[in-house]
């Protein structure tokens, strides 16, 4: 399905169906008030009614705001996807809600059928967006068009991430993720450099090597970069790329293991961000560093009681092999800082179940030392369509990482505050000069869900792409003002 902006009023667009969003109060003034009443339409959030004879699809919204539009547009597009209509048209619902409208249409339309033997192709192909506002006024076309085009690129980046994360661990192993990154790089004019086992060894990345040792699919460190001319900033993004997390010898229970193909969601988000940034041609140099490994078991598996030597020299006592993401990230973060002097360093990881306990399954946990960055991300969260909340470090939790035999332990000695202790573990691998430039995003909750929510169907959501691009755009518009 493609989205097209048309610089014309709604009435002059030719389409099978017109999609109309209504609040309860707009419903009262609607031309089809009586007909809708007969159909039992009350304009409650996400309620939809299709008046086939009139060519109208009515969608209820609780309030005229971003979240309501995104969710209702998702319901509308799912209904159209299941129909035999080929096209639809939509007005604007104030320019500030346009990105949410595009989110609902493009992200709501997504489904993953790679492993279905019978695909169900949809007749629905085109969605036209007019510059006419729902109240009949006409909005300025140029900024609207730019906004729609930008947002579609971002949403396609999100869908790219969803496809990767949904792909099964048999098809995406660490070497396969390296191939996928090479392909993305080729298609988008990016650079890609892959470190194999030998190179990882030469770099002293023994924590990452230990995590991947029991798998037949050996670890890879993938460096993908987008280097425009005269960049205004340099940003390094680090992603946890566990193509499967069985827990290792500290084996997960059967039920917790299901869905652990999503443990590569941080890495996939980094690839999706690079895809979007390069398509948007943002004047920012972006480096993606992916630590790809598979956490498995065999006779040579790394063990609780082992002590690992990480790239930056810190020794780590392993007390739980299921806390493997932080070990991979430790080496990947150290490598990223060695290779690139960046203005910002962000990492993305499905790191802890504890983050879900703390914030619920829909919210990204952000951690770091910079209050400025935390405020910036909190501010762009709502327009981005993602939920973010800050989890604060503190000196008491830090003590829980003490080890009697090595420099630090890979898990906290007490069961509470697990998302924060994981973040504070990573802090050991951030160079002094980078502390204020670093943010850690724990996406364990929002990256994947077996229950559809918002504009997300079953499975991967593509968490990380929208809020990061939103932040980058805000950064660039600030730079313009100076």
Q: Which residues bind ligand BES (CB under 6 A)?
A: 245, 263, 320, 322-325, 350-354, 411, 418, 444
* From 132, 245, 347, 386, residue interacting with Zn ion (rule: CB under 5 A): 245
Q: How many angstroms separate the CA atoms of 460 and 47, rounded? A: 25
Instruction: Check 252, 319, 379, 398 and give the catalytic one.
Output: 252
- If the CB atoms of residues 87 and 350 are measured against Zn ion, the closer one turns out to be 350
- State how far the Cα of 86 lies from the Cα of 142, in Å rounded to an integer: 27
Specify the residue for token string 């991979």: 328
Considering only the stretches 38-46, 181-189, 234-242, 471-479, report the one whose residues sit in contact with Zn ion under the rule CB under 5 A: 234-242
**Residue 319 bears catalytic tag:** no
Q: Is 252 a catalytic residue?
A: yes
Residue 294 binds: one of ligand BES, Zn ion, none (C-beta under 5 to 8 A by kind): none
Site string for Zn ion, 269-308 (x = CB under 5 A): ----------------------------------------
CB 179: neighbour CB atoms within 10 A? 15
With CB under 5 A as the contact rule, the residue among 16, 263, 285, 442 that binds Zn ion is: 263
The Cα 288–Cα 368 span in angstroms is 19
User: Is the CB of 322 or the CB of 347 nearer to ligand BES?
Assistant: 322
Instruction: Tell whether residue 103 is a contact of Zn ion (CB under 5 A).
Output: no
Q: Is 227 exposed, middle or buried (0-12, 13-18, 19+ CB in 10 A)?
A: middle
**Least distance in angstroms from the C-beta of 256 to Zn ion:** 9
Among 103, 203, 294, 322, binds Zn ion (CB under 5 A): 322
354 binds, among Zn ion, ligand BES, none (CB under 5 to 8 A by kind): ligand BES
Q: Which does 444 bind (CB under 5 to 8 A by kind): ligand BES, Zn ion, none?
A: ligand BES
Nearer to Zn ion, 72 or 411 (CB): 411
Catalytic residue among 151, 326, 374, 437: 326
Residue with smaller CB distance to ligand BES, 225 or 350? 350
> Which of 219, 325, 365, 417 lies at the binding interface for Zn ion (CB under 5 A)?
325
Cβ of 309: how many Cβ atoms within 10 Å?
17
Return all residues near 255 (Cβ < 8 A) that are at least 6 apart.
none
HSE value, Cβ hemisphere, 13 Å, CA-based, for 249: 17
Q: Least separation, in Å, of the C-beta of 130 and Zn ion?
A: 46
Select the binding partner of residue 331 from ligand BES, Zn ion, none (C-beta < 5 to 8 A, by kind). none
Q: Using CB distances below 5 to 8 A depending on partner kind, what does residue 320 bind out of Zn ion, ligand BES, none?
A: ligand BES
Q: Report, as residue numbers or ranges, the catalytic residues.
A: 252, 326
């Amino acid at each position: 399905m493609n989205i097209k902006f048309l610089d014309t009023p709604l009435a002059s667009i030719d389409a099978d169906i017109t999609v109309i969003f209504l609040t309860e109060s707009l419903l009262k003034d609607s031309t089809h008030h009586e007909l809708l009443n007969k159909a039992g339409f009350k304009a409650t959030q996400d309620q939809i009614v299709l008046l086939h004879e009139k060519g109208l699809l009515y969608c209820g919204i609780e309030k005229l705001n971003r979240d309501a539009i995104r969710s209702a547009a998702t319901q509308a597009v799912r209904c159209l996807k299941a129909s035999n209509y080929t096209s639809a048209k939509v007005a604007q619902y104030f320019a500030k809600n346009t990105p949410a409208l595009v989110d609902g249409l493009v992200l709501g339309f997504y489904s993953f059928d790679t492993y279905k033997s019978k695909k169900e192709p949809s007749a629905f192909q085109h969605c036209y967006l007019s510059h006419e506002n729902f109240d009949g006024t006409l909005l300025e076309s140029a900024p609207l068009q730019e906004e729609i085009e930008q947002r579609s690129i971002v949403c396609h980046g999100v869908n790219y991430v969803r496809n990767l994360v949904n792909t099964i661990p048999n098809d995406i192993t660490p070497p396969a993720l390296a191939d996928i990154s090479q392909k993305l790089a080729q298609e988008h004019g990016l650079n890609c450099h892959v470190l194999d086992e030998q190179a990882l060894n030469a770099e002293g990345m023994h924590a990452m090597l230990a995590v991947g040792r029991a798998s037949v699919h050996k670890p890879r460190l993938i460096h993908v970069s987008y280097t425009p001319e005269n960049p205004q900033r340099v940003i390094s993004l680090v992603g946890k790329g566990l193509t499967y997390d069985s827990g290792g010898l500290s084996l997960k229970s059967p039920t917790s293991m299901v869905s652990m193909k999503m443990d590569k969601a941080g890495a996939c988000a980094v690839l999706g961000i690079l895809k979007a940034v390069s398509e948007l041609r943002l004047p920012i140099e972006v480096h993606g560093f992916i630590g790809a490994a598979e956490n498995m078991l065999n006779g040579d598996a790394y063990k609780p009681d082992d002590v690992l030597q990480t790239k930056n020299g810190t020794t780590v006592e392993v007390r739980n092999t299921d806390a493997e993401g932080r070990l991979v990230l430790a080496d990947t973060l150290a490598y990223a800082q060695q290779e690139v002097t960046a203005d910002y360093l962000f990492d993305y990881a499905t790191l802890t179940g504890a983050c879900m306990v703390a914030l619920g399954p829909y919210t990204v946990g952000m951690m770091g030392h910079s209050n400025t960055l935390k405020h910036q991300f909190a501010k762009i969260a709502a327009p981005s369509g993602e939920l973010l909340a800050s989890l604060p470090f503190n000196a008491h939790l830090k003590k829980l990482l003490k080890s009697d035999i090595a420099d630090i332990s890979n898990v906290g000695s007490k069961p509470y505050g697990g998302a924060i202790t994981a973040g504070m573990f990573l802090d050991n691998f951030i160079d002094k000069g980078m502390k204020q430039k670093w943010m850690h995003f724990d996406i364990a909750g929002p990256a994947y869900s077996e229950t559809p929510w918002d504009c997300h169907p079953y499975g991967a959501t593509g968490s990380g792409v929208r809020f990061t691009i939103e932040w980058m755009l805000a950064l660039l518009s600030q730079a313009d003002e100076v």
